[in-house]
Amino acid sequence: MAVNTLHPALKQIMPVYDQIEDCLAGEIQVKKQGEKYLPHPSGGSGGSMLNSIVNIKERPAVNVGQLLNNAGDSRYDDYKARAQFVDYTNRQLETLVGLAFSKDVIKELPAMMDMFVDNVNGNGLGLVQLAKQMFAYVLAYGRAGLLVEYPMMDKPTTVGDSDSGRVLPTIRLVKPKELINWFGTPTIDTVVVSEMFEQVEDFEVSYVNKFKSFHLVDGVAHFQVHCPDKDEGFVVEAAGTLTNASSKPLSRLPLFTAGSENNDWVIDRPPFLGISSVNLSQYRSSADTEEGAFFAGNATYIISNANLQDLEEAFPDGIRVGSKYVLTLPAPAAASVLQGAPNAAAQALMGIKDEQMRALGAVRADQMTVAKTATEALLTETIRNGSLNNVANNVSNAMTEALKLALEYMTPDLALQDDIRFEIDVSAGLVGLDPAAINALVQLGSSSYLVTKEIRDVLKKLGIAQEEYDDQLMPMTQFGMEESTDAPLQNEEEEEEEEEDKEEPAPQGEQEMSEDDQQDQS
């Protein structure tokens, strides 16, 4: 068995990985796959171009399907060019990753790992950026790995090398298609990872694919680097025993996996399989809709009661039609226009698949502007947070274990591993609910769909509730609502009495006296 042998489970799921990868890459990559995702509308391709004039009288039994098929690659290229692949899959992944990391990652590390946090892979990638990458792969494909390595040095390294940043371990993301093989009973003791290496010769960059195998033999971890040779085989380029900062052999493999369901070595079902499949199905419906609109929307000109030879003599350069041209036909020939209705069935399928995308959680552009009800917004966020939580926990656990091994490469003080904590907090997805959404949350509680403890949990994540569970009511101003300006009833009565005192007219006698005085003065 060659070192590049794929695990049977990986070989079986590889087409699914390819589909998700192409959908995430977008329209150009999807269309590049041709008939893999967009079959030829006539069931095949090839043949010569369709003649511009079809003589129905001489060929009464015309096979229209065959005529369209004979249009060859030109017709399929037009069919594919008119189709639209909406970037639902990648947009959804970006949205969910942004939602999960909208709150700062909780990370607690020993001081000696400060420099390591900013350059975790040796090429300037930060620790949080690595976590985002792994989270995205696990969320889309259902699997990813982390490979922890330490540079091979000609002489032993010291703690000072790590403190100064001269020599640091690295953590590299292993993509689902790069983790090619694993086996061992009762526990996994052999893992094979593919890695692309860059080579430069005379300013020309090329890439070679090498394979790293890791083995546990009698509780000791070993490694080998395999590179291709001229005979299309593989030779061992490097080999050795993995040791920690105390020069003791590692007793575990330096690779940690995370899945969408759990962190064992069984391949989990990719969460984005459904949304990518519907995305491609909508792409095919789009092609049929656009083609139907093209054929039905563009007029077909019909000339009847005419001899083809007469037409060729009268119009040697072809017949031009449109508002700028006058068509003069020899008698008794007549011209007319045939125009059909668009493909209503394909349009209906587009709408159905759009609803399917929404049911799978896809984010559309119009959802950014069309307001949803408070209950719908709340339930949508709750569902998303529930689906993200499992992936976040699995990635957090894998990142924590990888950091512990990286620290073991840096210092013999293994007690410092207890100070390591890495946690992705997806609770921030509920932050920013408006007062109506919070009111809907309370309504769910009053309808017995949620208990008080669950509601309090959500409010504490929002930063509204601070105390432990109790029966105290909270001021509505903390929900973002305006405080009531209505004064107590007693104050209202006092204000009314004051206004009455101000507006109460003087007694009638006083008014008459005042008028008499005015007359005497005048």
Give the predicted TM-score (pTM) of the model: 0.69
**Which residues, at least 6 apart from 211, have a Cβ–Cβ distance to it below 8 Å?**
3, 4, 180, 192, 193, 194, 195, 225, 226, 227, 234
* pLDDT score at 378: 46
CB atoms within 10 A of CB 352: 14
Q: Detail the DSSP E strand segments found in 379-507.
A: 421-423
> Residue 423's beta-bridge partner residues?
106
* pLDDT score at 199: 83
* pLDDT score at 92: 85
Amino acid letter for position 477: T
Distance CA 143, CA 268 (A): 7
Amino acid letter for position 305: N
* pLDDT score at 376: 46
Taking every pair of C-alpha atoms in the chain, what is the biggest distance, in angstroms? 134
* pLDDT score at 220: 95
* pLDDT score at 358: 58
* pLDDT score at 516: 54
* pLDDT score at 321: 72
Task: List Cα–Cα distances, 72 to 42, 51, 67, 111, in angstroms.
Answer: 10, 12, 10, 67
- The series of mean pLDDT values per 10 residues for the chain, 522 residues long, is 92 97 96 93 49 42 46 78 89 86 90 90 92 96 95 50 63 96 92 90 88 95 91 87 90 95 93 90 87 71 76 76 71 70 59 58 43 46 62 95 94 90 76 59 64 68 58 44 46 55 52 52 48
Structural domain spans, the chain: 8-34+86-273+386-423, 489-521
Considering only CA atoms, which of 174, 155, 173, 157 is closest in space to residue 165? Answer: 157
Backbone angles phi, psi at 224, to 5 degrees: -145, 145
Contact yes or no for 140/119 (Cβ under 8 A): no
* pLDDT score at 62: 42
